[in-house]
């Protein structure tokens, strides 16, 4: 004969144990969530530090390139003034070597590029949120908008130089690379070393090709138009870029 025992719920939990388990589970989930948030925050902070470091490097490189560009433009202005003096004194034919030297400086061209890779990456990836400084972000946006305009103006200058000087390269001035004249090498120091070249002592007398067709007045007028545009850019765009660049670097110090 089977004996049936009544089942007693010895394992049944009371309401206090349920509440305790609920809070323990809630606490574990919350702590996990907070830990994940903290980890992501630390990752973002690290990314922000890297971004700021790269941005400062770009700004410093901009500072150097802007100073070099300004140095080049100032030397070209001095060379242009010397050519204007030849025109005023009507003695350019007696100073062909000097004219070659000044022409070499004025026709120097450099493809100036802003260091904006980090900024463009920040725009595309949303990295700007790491800055957490609305005033700084506005200043950065203004700066990079300004240097983009400056780059467009620089492209215009290069186009003008191509249009103006190509005729004279083809028809009147002998290329230093053809003559092998090393006296012109110092002119490149303006770009590569930011060093003002001295008037070279030429190994031979230079000459203007097709001199009977060389219209010196038109040549001087071309230089004046180019320098007018150049000086306007220097005073209105480049100088402002330099000021904005200095202000941003001071903020990051």
As a whole number of angstroms, the distance between CA 77 and CA 80 comes to 5
Structure-model confidence comparison of residues 186 and 116, the more confident one:
116
> In sequence order, what are the beta bridge partners of 116?
none
Please work out, in degrees rounded to the nearest 5, the angle formed at the alpha carbon of residue 191 by the alpha carbons of 188 and 192: 85
Q: At what angle do helices 134-171 and 239-252 cross, to 10 degrees?
A: 140
pLDDT above 80 for 9: no
pTM recorded for the entire structure: 0.77
Mean pLDDT, range 36-60, rounded to an integer: 73
pLDDT above 70 for 181: no
Is residue 237 within 8 A of residue 150, CB to CB? The reply is: yes
| Nearest alpha carbon to residue 102 among 117, 87, 81 | 81
Which pLDDT does position 1 carry in this prediction?
A: 46
User: End-to-end alpha-carbon separation of the chain, Å?
Assistant: 94
Q: Confidence band (pLDDT; 50, 70, 90) for 35? A: low
Question: How much of the chain, in percent, has pLDDT values that exceed 70?
Answer: 76
Q: Confidence band (pLDDT; 50, 70, 90) for 39? A: low
Mean pLDDT, range 82-111, rounded to an integer: 90
Is residue 65 within 8 A of residue 112, CB to CB? The reply is: yes
Structure-model confidence comparison of residues 186 and 45, the more confident one:
186
pLDDT above 70 for 3: no
pLDDT tens digit sequence for 128-158: 777 777 888 889 999 999 999 999 988 989 8
As a whole number of angstroms, the distance between CA 140 and CA 26 comes to 44
Question: How much of the chain, in percent, has pLDDT values that exceed 90?
Answer: 33
Which pLDDT does position 26 carry in this prediction?
A: 66
As a whole number of angstroms, the distance between CA 140 and CA 50 comes to 17
């Amino acid at each position: 004969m089977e004996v049936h025992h009544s089942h007693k719920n010895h394992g049944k939990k009371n309401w206090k144990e349920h509440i305790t388990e609920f809070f323990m589970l809630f606490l574990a989930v919350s702590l996990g969530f907070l830990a994940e948030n903290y980890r992501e925050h630390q990752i973002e902070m690290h990314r922000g530090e890297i971004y700021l470091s790269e941005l400062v490097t770009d700004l410093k490189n901009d500072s150097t390139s802007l100073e070099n560009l300004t140095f080049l433009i100032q030397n070209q202005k001095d060379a242009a003034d010397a050519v204007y003096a030849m025109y005023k004194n009507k003695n350019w034919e007696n100073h062909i070597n000097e004219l070659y030297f000044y022409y070499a400086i004025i026709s120097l061209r450099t493809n100036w590029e802003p260091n904006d890779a980090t900024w463009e990456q920040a725009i595309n990836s949303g990295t700007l949120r790491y800055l957490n400084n609305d005033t700084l972000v506005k200043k950065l946006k203004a700066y990079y908008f300004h240097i983009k305009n400056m780059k467009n103006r620089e492209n215009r200058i290069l186009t003008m130089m191509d249009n103006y000087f190509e005729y004279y390269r083809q028809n009147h001035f002998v290329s230093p690379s053809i003559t092998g004249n090393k006296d012109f090498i110092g002119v490149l120091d303006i770009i590569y070393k930011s060093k003002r070249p001295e008037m070279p002592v030429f190994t031979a007398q230079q000459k203007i090709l097709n001199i009977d067709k060389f219209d010196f007045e038109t040549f001087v007028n071309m230089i004046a138009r180019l320098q007018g545009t150049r000086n306007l850019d220097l005073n209105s765009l480049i100088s402002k870029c330099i000021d904005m660049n200095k202000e941003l670097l001071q903020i990051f110090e």
